[in-house]
Chains A and B, each alone.
Chain A
Amino acid sequence: DADVTQTPRNRITKTGKRIMLECSQTKGHDRMYWYRQDPGLGLRLIYYSFDVKDINKGEISDGYSVSRQAQAKFSLSLESAIPNQTALYFCATSDVEKATQYFGPGTRLLVL
């Protein structure tokens, strides 16, 4: 089984709809991250959390919110989706002291 899972893997939604992307991990890591990837722009950090009570904005947090329900779960919400939020979204985890981030398989989101 994958260590970092994301649901759904693909989602098509309409402008103005609220959607939630979910991430779960079995690696036992404290730190979790949400990124979006757009062609040619690389991955950009949306939000990150260093433990269950910790939420931090990343580079592009406007229009997004997150919830860290447990050590193993980190959800990303789009309160009112807009077309320029169409992207590939990745969740990642890392250990406190090590550099490597482990990514989930990604969620492809299309906002019409």
Chain B
Amino acid sequence: RKEVEQDPGPFNVPEGATVAFNCTYSNSASQSFFWYRQDCRKEPKLLMSVYSSGNEDGRFTAQLNRASQYISLLIRDSKLSDSATYLCVVSLNNAGNMLTFGGGTRLMVKP
């Protein structure tokens, strides 16, 4: 079983749609959680950290459910520029220096 599992997609949605991705992690000792974004053939970049109480950054909302060991990312009012692969990432320490990556979920936003 993979340590961090994601639905690979692709999720094909029209512009303006709301889309949600989930991710599950196997190690209950995980301390820190993140969503990274990776454009095709580019390097991953931090999208947002995920906090226990949930957090929002503009159109993006992240939630953490420690009891069920899953993390979610909600994107509202999808833009064409949101098309990318979204990587769920967990860390066993609070500094987040040792990261375990999920395989990514691909999102394609259509006009």
Contacts and interface: CB of A to CB of B under 8 A. Distances in A.
Interface residues of B, number: 23
B87 A101 contact: no
Contact of B91 (A41, A50, A99): A99
Contacts of A41: 103
Contacts of A50: 97
Interface size for chain A: under 10, 10 to 19, 20 to 34, or 35 or more residues?
20 to 34
27 contacts: A31-B97, A35-B101, A40-B8, A42-B4, A42-B102, A42-B103, A43-B44, A43-B99, A43-B101, A44-B101, A50-B97, A90-B44, A94-B96, A94-B97, A98-B96, A99-B34, A99-B49, A99-B91, A99-B95, A101-B46, A101-B96, A103-B43, A103-B45, A104-B43, A105-B42, A105-B43, A106-B42
**A-B pairs with the 3 shortest C-beta distances?**
A99-B96, A103-B43, A42-B101
Interface of A: 31, 35, 40-45, 48, 50, 90, 94, 96-101, 103-106
